[in-house]
Amino acid sequence: MSRTIEVFEGASLEVKAGPAAGGLSSAEFDALVRFNDEHERRYFDVGHRRITMKRYVGYLEIGDLAIEILPKADRAASTSAQVWRDGLIEMLRIALGLRLESVRTASQQLTRSSLLDLIAAAYAGELEVLQRHGLAKGYRRHESNGVVFRGSLVINEHLRQNLGRADRFYVAYQTYDHDITVNRLLRAALDVLAACALSAGVAARIASCRGLFPEVSGATVQLEWFDRVHLTRATARYGPALQLARMILEHRGPQLRAGPVRVFSLLFDMSALWERYVAALFRRAAPREVVVSTQERHLFWCPPAHPGRRVRPDIVLRAATTRGPGRTLLVVDTKWKVPRRGIPSDDDLKQMFVYNELLAGARAALLYPAVEGAVALSGTYAQRDHSCEQIHLGLLDATGWSTSSMRLQIARLLAGLIA
């Protein structure tokens, strides 16, 4: 990779004269616009010779240019990009349950295009473990046209291809080998990574892993195959590798080319990532007296003869009882943004009002990342006995991004609920 650009979410990149200017070439800009159009314009806002990042973070590769899009909750210039890169890696590790290297180790070992190298290295590691125990085999249907008869005759194809050839048979039979769905999915993700710009060490590991699949077809795979995979006792060990393979194949987009320039993406919705990360921290910090539930769906509008409408709070905390979850202690909605003028929006407050009403809750909270000058607020809803508060989660300590500090803050919040 000859060039790497580092940019924060919400920032812009412009077309500039020459790569040394730190911007995009016209061809790169056009490729990004086509890529964005293919994905319903979800990743960027496009202006005149300028693209502005939306809420997606991660890695983009356009020809020989790598763009690393980092999250950033504040606008303080003093906070280094490395801190936010560490935070992104940590959120991916915890929110998605990936077996990635720790933040400190990854930061020391990887180059600036660290996210792709980190994912690829983790994937290679999972495949190397699988190979040590041997790749799984299975039965699959195979068709052939030849002089040997075995299995069953495929009548239509036999008549079409062998009319007048009594010495040949078009047959279908079962064969037992490595060319099964789970191995094809793993091979497809390897092929995607092999076409990307990786550091020399990681690229060598990916090339070596491709050699582990000599009997596996490199034909096109479908993402729907992941949903049809049912892991057995023999293939349960494939779980972590399949999780990474799905991430790689899902984020590559519908095609790897946008016109004459190749595009690869590994992008994540920052709002969804923050939600899952915070939910995981709540689960880790919750005492036995608190039950943590996420992504519950509750009906709130029921028109006759039409589908009802539902709401889905991010996190619901309930008192634990001998019979299961009890009364609602707190409803939390995570927000990866800084509230304008330091107060929640009307829409957010109305959303929390609905949650309290439906779940018979006394407290709701909008949880934001803490930034300089952030102030906690709390207010009671008019003519009701329930409230909503604005709380902030501090992301950093003296050493940088700190999951342990966030977990401690959440533990104190939970302790206050059961005091």
Angle at the Cα of 90 (from 87 to 94), degrees rounded to 5? 140
| DSSP code, position 101 | P
pLDDT of amino acid 114:
60
- Contact predicate 185/207, CB 8 Å: no
Mean of pLDDT values over 180-189: 91
Bridge partner residues of 62 (DSSP):
65, 263
Residues 268-319: tens digit of each pLDDT: 999 999 999 999 999 999 999 999 999 999 998 999 988 999 999 999 999 9
> Can you tell me the mean pLDDT for 342-360?
94
Q: How big is the CA angle at 181 (ends 269 and 239), to the nearest 5 degrees?
A: 55
Q: Could you give the CA distance from residue 402 to residue 1 in angstroms, rounded to a whole number?
A: 31
- Residue 104: which pLDDT band, with cuts at 50, 70 and 90? very low
Total residues belonging to the chain: 419
Query: What is the Cα–Cα distance from 287 to 17, expressed in whole angstroms?
Result: 58
pLDDT in tens, 1-18: 568 889 999 999 999 866
pTM of the model: 0.84
Smallest CA-to-CA distance from 13 within 56, 61, 55, 48 is with 48
Per-residue model confidence (pLDDT) at position 257: 45
Cα–Cα distance, 329 to 317 (Å, whole number): 5
List the domain boundaries for the chain.
3-134+181-270, 138-177, 286-418
Burial of 134 (0-12, 13-18, 19+ CB in 10 A): exposed
